[in-house]
Structure 1
Amino acid sequence: MLVPTSPRTPPSPGAADLDVDAVLAKLTTQEKISLLSGIDFWHTAAVPRLGIPSIRLSDGPNGVRGTRFFNSVPSSCLPCGTAIGATFDKALAREVGHLLGDEARAKGAHVVLGPTINIQRLALGGRGFESFSEDPALSGGLAAQYCAGLDDKGIAATPKHFVCNDMEHERMAVDVLVTKRALHEIYLTPFRLALAAGHVPAIMTSYSKVNGTHASESEYLLKEVLRGSWGFDGLVMSDWFGTYSTSEAVNAGLDLEMPGAARFRGAILNHALNANKVSIRAVNDRVRNVLKLVKRAMATGIPENAPEDELNRPEDRQLLRRMAADAVVLLKNEDSILPFVPTKSVAVIGPTSRIATYCGGGSASLNPYEAVTPWEGVEAQAKVPLSFAQGVYGHQMLPLLGKSMRNENGEVGFTLRMYNDPPTGPSTPSSPDTRPLLETRHVVDANMFFIDYSHPLMNKNGVWYADAEGTFTPTESSLYDFGLAVQGTARLYVDGELLIENVENQRLGTSFLGSGTVEETGSKTLVAGQTYRILVQWGCAKTSSLKVGNMVDFGHGGMRIGACRRLSPADGIAEAVEVAKTVDQVVLCVGLGGEWETEGEDRTTMALPPNTDDLVKAVLAANPNTVVVVQSGTPVSLPWLSNAKAVLQAWYGGNQTGHGIADVVFGTVNPAGKLPLTYPLRVEDHPAHFNYRSEAGRCLYGEDVYVGYRYFDRAGIEPVFPFGHGLSYTTFTLEGLTIEKTEGNNVNVSLTVTNTGSVTGSCTVQLYVSPPTWEPRQVPVVPQRPTQELRSFEKVHDLAAGVSTQITLVLDAVRDTSYWDETQDRWCSQQGVYGIKVGQSSRDDKAVGGSLTINETTYWEGLSP
């Protein structure tokens, strides 16, 4: 398939003036060393006398944040990685890159830190939502187009995390023990496929050790595989605070330590040079790669330290909505109850119905231009007024209060005031705060992470304070719970009454990437319509005596303010049941979110939040004409599945989450998403279940190459939903398979796709290769291999009812029949007859098949044969 491209952004005039080798020769040793680490969280060092500018890097992977965690400039938030994986759409992945490229330009960023292409070994990974799939071919195929899309816009992609950064538990210290075969076949393959496409100028290393050595200082990974066998000549950077040595990392090939200021370079690297632990040649090699990336960045025309702007174009909103809808997977649709009829009565029920669950937590999260809730999406398309019931809550910490508050001008949000001096108590009209004010800001997001906050008049010792103040007017009289989690210290007051004190005897929790406290809570009965003054007085991280034990320094700290009306599960479920009985159709929204799936912490269970399953069972019993919409980045348990007629897996859908869900619910979009992950009945069904945490500082990848569907197929375990599964409002047939060898190693696998249903729809065609079957005593015997492996996929878009089309999937006869031969330490395509299966899922019983004969055994190395 030829993926559509857009014209590459032309180079800036004069950008080619940077002669890398000539400039390298003019640099002093100290200037060279300065270039090998960042100067802050997001920028590299400059050498003005030689015309070397500072360049800006920014998170991805699902949106470009810019340079600020706190009060950042809004951005386009894309659907999460697994959502993009669920599209199985290479052309869409390229469009993702184009949008990210334009967003990067708006944010003044030359380099995007993404895509994340690690492998989801298990459904519990805290960052599983960031990655595309459990399958390396799907991950690598999409990553290649994502990177190419950024390259079309002149922006550098940075696939991450190289390699085996597949869980969060003790992620900076754990030693991943993995066979070379699994390492190459499963975990390195997405990176290899992305690099083979030729649009990857930078790579980010993982936090973990791999077979005894941290990835950022592994000569095997960086020198032997990446730069040696694969011939990669781009830049290798550390993950943030993922550099652990000086000499070892420089000698292995780690070019850039991030973030700055340097911890392992600077004066320490100068000392290592003088001690001959690092050669000047090694330093020159590292600097050369930095300069090449700088030269590439200069060609974008993005100026040094550019201002950060919003983009938010109408065409981008349309693309984000299409992406959100295209990612939705129709898991089940008994009696064809979907799509719903917009003129019939509808209730929207559930914990995530009025919350925009648009992304997971951690460094992938960002401030979106907008975040459309499922309620808003359904309301926009329904032709009758909606009914609503909360049912139960699904939060881990209390919902953020910011959007429910008002500042002194009546604007949504609250006022944040910064000071050098500590408070003496809550201010009142009769006793105003007289501390000298650093600055005042209007803030809406009540989850404030001050990593990158600075002020020229701040105390030189970095100790400072902030007051967050606004009003809250409840719409219902009830008991309200308030919550306060901090990295630092804080007190929360309601109308001058101290409700929460999070200062002494603090308890370490998961907030602020594991550097903050648990959420301390307090409650107060509030009267509907009455306005209450909310005040939080906060002190920075240095005011806390809490021992974190985290290797990462998150600077100033942060505070998180939450609140909601107290709701007993029994009362909430009873109300939801009564509402469900009164309508023709129910959209029941459940799932996880950025608190449950987040960087720094793995889940301990596949279960939905407490009381959710009870709500689903009760609503399904009250109204069978219910679609359950599940939002999560990885699989969750569905104990009520047999009672549900319709289930959608909607992931985290980005800015347009609610519209994307509603488009599928009402049939504006015919669902075409496919599961990029196997949906198991129980977490125990995964072979990685026994080896998914750091124990004694190591984690054994005991499932070897049998990751995801590879294990379920080999072990004969029936999943709830197989890899590649996804229904449609129409039906398709595949027939007329032909297999033809063409020039070189190319093999064309052609077939006819027919829409046999009544509406237009898109069909994802998946090609699996099975290993040869050997007769007894025949030598050599191929080692045990997965029953089948995805090797190619194509998406047929918008095929009209009754229409047929022919498609061709292209295989590389050598590459796509190969396994990693540990006796030869290279790839091997073994002589034999391989099975070819083309279907609409990994377990499609109507798949069409054939065979491919490989006449001779071939060994090979590198990115491709």
Structure 2
Amino acid sequence: MGEFDIEQVLSQLTLHEKISLLSGIDFWHTFPVHRLDIPSLRFSDGPNGVRGTKFFNGVPSACFPCGTALASTFDKQLLLDIGRLMGEEAIHKSVHVVLGPTTNMQRGPLGGRGFESFSEDPYLAGMASASIINGIQDKKVAATIKHFVGNDLEDQRNSSNSIITERALREIYLEPFRIAVKLSNPMAVMTGYNRLNGEHVSQSEKLLQDILRDEWKWDGTIMSDWFGTYSTKEALANGLDIEMPGPTRFRNPDPVAHSVNTKELHSKVIDERARNVLKLIKYTKMLNLPENGPESDSNNTPQTQKLLKEVAADSIVLLKNEDVLPLNKNSSIAVIGPNAKYAAYCGGGSAALRSYYSVTPFEGIAKKMTSSPKYALGAMGVKSLQGLAENLTNPFTGKRGYNMKFFKEPSSSSHRELVDELNLDLSHVFLADYKNPKLDSNLYFIDFEGDLVVNESGEYAFGISVYGTAQLFVDGKLLVDNKTSQSRGDSFFNSGTSEKKGTIFLEKGKEYKIRVEFGSAPSYTLVNAGVVEFGGGGGVNLGFSKVYEKDEEIKKAVEVAKSVDNVVLCIGLNQEWESESFDRPDMNLPPNTDELVEAVINANPNTIVVNQSGTPVELPWVSKAKGLIQAWFGGNELGNALADVLFGDTNPSGKLSLSFPKVLEDNPTYLNFKTEMGRVLYGEDIYIGYRFYQKMRRDVAFPFGFGLSYTSFGYSDLNIELSEDKLDVTIKVKNNGPYKGKDVPQLYISALNSAVSRPVRELKGFEKIELESGESTLVHFDLPLKECISYFDEYMNQWCAEAGAYTVEIGKSSEDIVLHSDFAVKETTYWLGA
């Protein structure tokens, strides 16, 4: 075939074919026109890793650290390499378009998808986005920056109206997208679910046409978020190229063609939308991927594992170290806590995926030691019960898991037609994309069967949350009924029930027959209103755990802590607490965690607390902790990466990508982080994150950009060279400590005597360097002057590079400024665009 000529192809398409190109045909694929060499493209979720085409029983994938972790590396080259690995993962899944990165802003600490995003700072978020996009597109896979724009909380997300001033919109919320468009040219943009100042973003002419295309000169493809299209004519006319997913709700060819033929909708609108889709088609043709190609887990190579460990380790932030780290491998060590033997490798929702493997903190630490460390649970860290499937044995195969049989009729029917049978070991079963040609609707029934043997007699709890209906039986007796009486919860993208539980005494060594009878989504007894409806067969989550007595578990942990030299106390959140579709109600750690931390620290002062969360948590005991590490949701390799940092095989170099306030009430969105009467007021304006804390002189637990090392670095010899359009800054950095290590000098700009209210300082540059002990180097910041000094002038509706005095500040964090020097700009200029 010759070169794919967009205009020639466009001229040969029928009106119906053009319209068909403007929506998906299913959850992950676009419409093909084979006679004109237009293939069906495959999309895949991509914030944490490339899942492929299946929520249910998907092919395992590489799981990357969450967005806030990736940004905490402050390493543009490493993020470029991570983007390339994402591109390779996409190719192994036959994916043409990765749905990431997520580039929304961290207004406050409670956002359900906050862990997916990068930072509270637009410059850091933009640079991280650009690096990852460039890496993905180096592999000729298209990247999709999302969610454009102001989609920064989950509360009533598909109807919430984000009320944002024009200045805040430009300086904070659009800015990371502008930076990424300028530096990486993403092939696609995904619109948010939300309204912005009264209109849904997916049909906003101002945002999609005036700013993104005309002002920024971007020339790619715009798609909706899944079920985030709200009109036909307005969305088409104002710039939304693809409605996702399919089949379409708003772009059926017959009525849209009728609108064109009756001049209700101009034909050039359809041509322009189709032309933009063809641009994406042309770009992805460089991949030479087969249409509807195979999905493989063969990228689970030593090289992949090495890079995943490197980025996980470099994202880890050492927050406190009072002579307790690095650990001695010959010391006696206990690993305690709810996250010690639990792999909190990713957040929930679209970011969740089935990983190649996962390494827990306990496993990673144990590999470093000659004898296995001591262990105690201490407290439960999960919101619902842990997975049942891993405790079951399939009665038909003898392997871990269960047998599941699919029927058209419920168990009460005298005649049931078996339509499918699978043997799996998944406790979380989401059937949104399960398909079977024998089923003529989304109503079907599944029987799960597995055998259970426990190794300790006692009370055990079984739990079920469901989008549909489900009942759990033990030896034929009903124990959990989530069918006849259901209560709303936040499971399954906020569509499902809360977890129903039942307890029973189980004897050690005795075999119990476990049976779950599930009815798919149409059997659900509750009404789903105000949620994004993913459709399909719904889902069921199967939980199981021994019943623990809180005081007894803490007592056991204390006894273990007293018996060793050092304790690594692993706490935090997981994908149940931080997930798409709902926001956290508070900054608290799971119940009983703070009590556990206090007790263990009192029992053994040489305790290193390791917190895993994608966003900030309150740390009421922080003053008592000698050691504190922020380890995020670190992907497949978190356990190994954490062990490397704990024992000094890797010198920690992560810097916080967002501020950790002391308490929830301190954060700038405390009064405004919810949707009230259809709108959410961005009352903090431009003062989010450290911009707010510094302006208000409010202390935080740990500031933006902060992170310790096992070595020390000195900064000197600040030099500024100013030209008409450039700010060239040079500093000398020396490793004054005993270890090789990495450091991140951060460049902030402070405007003096501005005509408008300005932040105390704003990040405008950073570089990551590595130095041997005693080694020094010159670090250069070559920055565009207008982008360093401008604010957005709402009256002029342009960026204003204001005449006046400015200070360059070089810091080890947003609070720790060690060098500074002034410069002056003589003339005010205005500008617009990228």
With structure 1 as the length reference, what TM-score do the two structures score?
A: 0.95
Partner AA of 2:421 in structure 1? T
Partner AA of 1:782 in structure 2? A
Q: Which residue of 1 aligns with 2:486?
A: 506
The superposition leaves residues 164-184 of structure 1 with CA deviations (integer Å, 9 ceiling, x where unpaired) of 110000001011110000000
2:22 maps to which of 36, 40, 52: 36
Q: For 1:367 and 1:461, locate their aligned partners in 2 and report how far apart those are by CA, in whole Å.
A: 27
CA positional deviation for 1:410: 2.5
Q: How does 1:460-859 map to 2 (within 5 A)?
A: 460-549=440-529, 550-741=531-722, 745-773=725-753, 782-797=755-770, 799-845=771-817, 847-859=818-830
Q: For 1:704 and 1:284, locate their aligned partners in 2 and report how far apart those are by CA, in whole Å.
A: 39
Are positions 1:416 and 2:404 aligned together?
yes
Q: Which residue of 2 aligns with 1:194?
A: 180
CA positional deviation for 1:750: 0.6
Partner AA of 2:765 in structure 1? S
CA positional deviation for 1:423: 1.1
Q: For 2:592 and 2:752, locate their aligned partners in 1 and report how far apart those are by CA, in whole Å.
A: 49
Does the CA-based 8 Å contact 1:357-1:631 persist in structure 2? yes
CA positional deviation for 1:596: 0.5
Instruction: Report the secondary structure of 1:816's partner residue.
Output: helix
Instruction: Report the secondary structure of 1:695's partner residue.
Output: coil
Partner AA of 1:446 in structure 2? S
Does the CA-based 8 Å contact 1:467-1:538 persist in structure 2? yes
Q: For 1:852 and 1:133, locate their aligned partners in 2 and report how far apart those are by CA, in whole Å.
A: 28
Q: For 1:559 and 1:149, locate their aligned partners in 2 and report how far apart those are by CA, in whole Å.
A: 37
Does the CA-based 8 Å contact 2:164-2:196 persist in structure 1? yes
The superposition leaves residues 29-69 of structure 1 with CA deviations (integer Å, 9 ceiling, x where unpaired) of 11111000000000000111211110000001110000000
Q: For 2:810 and 2:679, locate their aligned partners in 1 and report how far apart those are by CA, in whole Å.
A: 39
Q: For 2:470 and 2:500, locate their aligned partners in 1 and report how far apart those are by CA, in whole Å.
A: 10
Instruction: Report the secondary structure of 2:236's partner residue.
Output: helix
Are positions 1:50 and 2:36 aligned together?
yes
Does the CA-based 8 Å contact 2:464-2:501 persist in structure 1? yes
Q: For 1:727 and 1:198, locate their aligned partners in 2 and report how far apart those are by CA, in whole Å.
A: 31
With structure 2 as the length reference, what TM-score do the two structures score?
A: 0.98
Q: For 2:261 and 2:562, locate their aligned partners in 1 and report how far apart those are by CA, in whole Å.
A: 79
CA positional deviation for 1:462: 2.9
Instruction: Report the secondary structure of 1:248's partner residue.
Output: helix
2:383 maps to which of 391, 396, 404: 396
The superposition leaves residues 412-466 of structure 1 with CA deviations (integer Å, 9 ceiling, x where unpaired) of 22222211221139xxxxxxx97332222121211000011011111x2332111
Instruction: Report the secondary structure of 1:312's partner residue.
Output: coil
CA positional deviation for 1:551: 4.2
Instruction: Report the secondary structure of 2:331's partner residue.
Output: coil
Q: For 1:502 and 1:680, locate their aligned partners in 2 and report how far apart those are by CA, in whole Å.
A: 39
Partner AA of 1:204 in structure 2? M
Q: Pairwise CA RMSD of aligned residues?
A: 1.2
Q: How does 1:95-106 map to 2 (within 5 A)?
A: 95-106=81-92
Q: Which residue of 2 aligns with 1:7?
A: none
Instruction: Report the secondary structure of 2:560's partner residue.
Output: helix
Does the CA-based 8 Å contact 1:345-1:385 persist in structure 2? no
The superposition leaves residues 639-669 of structure 1 with CA deviations (integer Å, 9 ceiling, x where unpaired) of 0001100000000000111111111111111
2:3 maps to which of 4, 10, 17: 17
CA positional deviation for 1:741: 2.9
Partner AA of 1:730 in structure 2? T
Instruction: Report the secondary structure of 1:852's partner residue.
Output: strand
Does the CA-based 8 Å contact 2:489-2:497 persist in structure 1? yes
Does the CA-based 8 Å contact 1:389-1:576 persist in structure 2? yes
Q: For 1:345 and 1:383, locate their aligned partners in 2 and report how far apart those are by CA, in whole Å.
A: 10
Does the CA-based 8 Å contact 1:353-1:590 persist in structure 2? yes
Q: Which residue of 2 aligns with 1:11?
A: none
Q: How does 1:238-277 map to 2 (within 5 A)?
A: 238-266=224-252, 267-277=254-264
CA positional deviation for 1:530: 2.1
CA positional deviation for 1:529: 2.2
Does the CA-based 8 Å contact 1:246-1:268 persist in structure 2? no
Instruction: Report the secondary structure of 2:745's partner residue.
Output: strand
Gaps of 5+ in 1: 1-13, 426-432, 774-780
Q: For 1:121 and 1:468, locate their aligned partners in 2 and report how far apart those are by CA, in whole Å.
A: 43
Partner AA of 2:459 in structure 1? L
Q: For 2:33 and 2:44, locate their aligned partners in 1 and report how far apart those are by CA, in whole Å.
A: 21
Q: For 1:270 and 1:534, locate their aligned partners in 2 and report how far apart those are by CA, in whole Å.
A: 54
Q: Which residue of 1 aligns with 2:202?
A: 216
Are positions 1:860 and 2:831 aligned together?
yes
Instruction: Report the secondary structure of 2:30's partner residue.
Output: coil
Instruction: Report the secondary structure of 2:176's partner residue.
Output: helix
Q: For 1:253 and 1:612, locate their aligned partners in 2 and report how far apart those are by CA, in whole Å.
A: 49
Instruction: Report the secondary structure of 2:760's partner residue.
Output: coil
CA positional deviation for 1:832: 1.1
Q: Note closer, same or farther for the CA distance 1:737–1:522 as it changes in structure 2 (3 Å cut).
A: same
Q: For 1:239 and 1:130, locate their aligned partners in 2 and report how far apart those are by CA, in whole Å.
A: 15
Q: Which residue of 2 aligns with 1:313?
A: 301
Partner AA of 2:699 in structure 1? E
Instruction: Report the secondary structure of 1:255's partner residue.
Output: coil
Does the CA-based 8 Å contact 1:813-1:854 persist in structure 2? no
Instruction: Report the secondary structure of 1:691's partner residue.
Output: coil
Q: How does 1:157-176 map to 2 (within 5 A)?
A: 157-176=143-162
Partner AA of 2:784 in structure 1? D
Instruction: Report the secondary structure of 1:690's partner residue.
Output: coil
Instruction: Report the secondary structure of 2:720's partner residue.
Output: strand
Partner AA of 1:169 in structure 2? D
Instruction: Report the secondary structure of 2:637's partner residue.
Output: helix
Does the CA-based 8 Å contact 1:791-1:816 persist in structure 2? yes
CA positional deviation for 1:269: 2.4
Instruction: Report the secondary structure of 1:771's partner residue.
Output: strand
CA positional deviation for 1:243: 0.3
Q: How many residues align?
A: 830
Does the CA-based 8 Å contact 1:75-1:366 persist in structure 2? yes
Are positions 1:182 and 2:168 aligned together?
yes
2:267 maps to which of 280, 301, 326: 280
Does the CA-based 8 Å contact 2:463-2:502 persist in structure 1? yes
CA positional deviation for 1:275: 4.3
Instruction: Report the secondary structure of 2:600's partner residue.
Output: helix
Q: Which residue of 1 aligns with 2:336?
A: 349
Instruction: Report the secondary structure of 2:300's partner residue.
Output: coil
Q: For 2:258 and 2:503, locate their aligned partners in 1 and report how far apart those are by CA, in whole Å.
A: 57
Q: For 2:255 and 2:674, locate their aligned partners in 1 and report how far apart those are by CA, in whole Å.
A: 33
Identify which range, 747-756 or 785-794, moves more after superposition.
747-756
The superposition leaves residues 158-200 of structure 1 with CA deviations (integer Å, 9 ceiling, x where unpaired) of 0000001100000010111100000000000110000101431
Q: For 2:515 and 2:794, locate their aligned partners in 1 and report how far apart those are by CA, in whole Å.
A: 63
CA positional deviation for 1:94: 0.4
The superposition leaves residues 482-528 of structure 1 with CA deviations (integer Å, 9 ceiling, x where unpaired) of 00011111111112221111112311111100111111110111122
CA positional deviation for 1:748: 1.6
Are positions 1:79 and 2:65 aligned together?
yes
Instruction: Report the secondary structure of 1:160's partner residue.
Output: strand
CA positional deviation for 1:747: 2.0
Q: For 1:495 and 1:318, locate their aligned partners in 2 and report how far apart those are by CA, in whole Å.
A: 46
Q: For 1:402 and 1:663, locate their aligned partners in 2 and report how far apart those are by CA, in whole Å.
A: 31
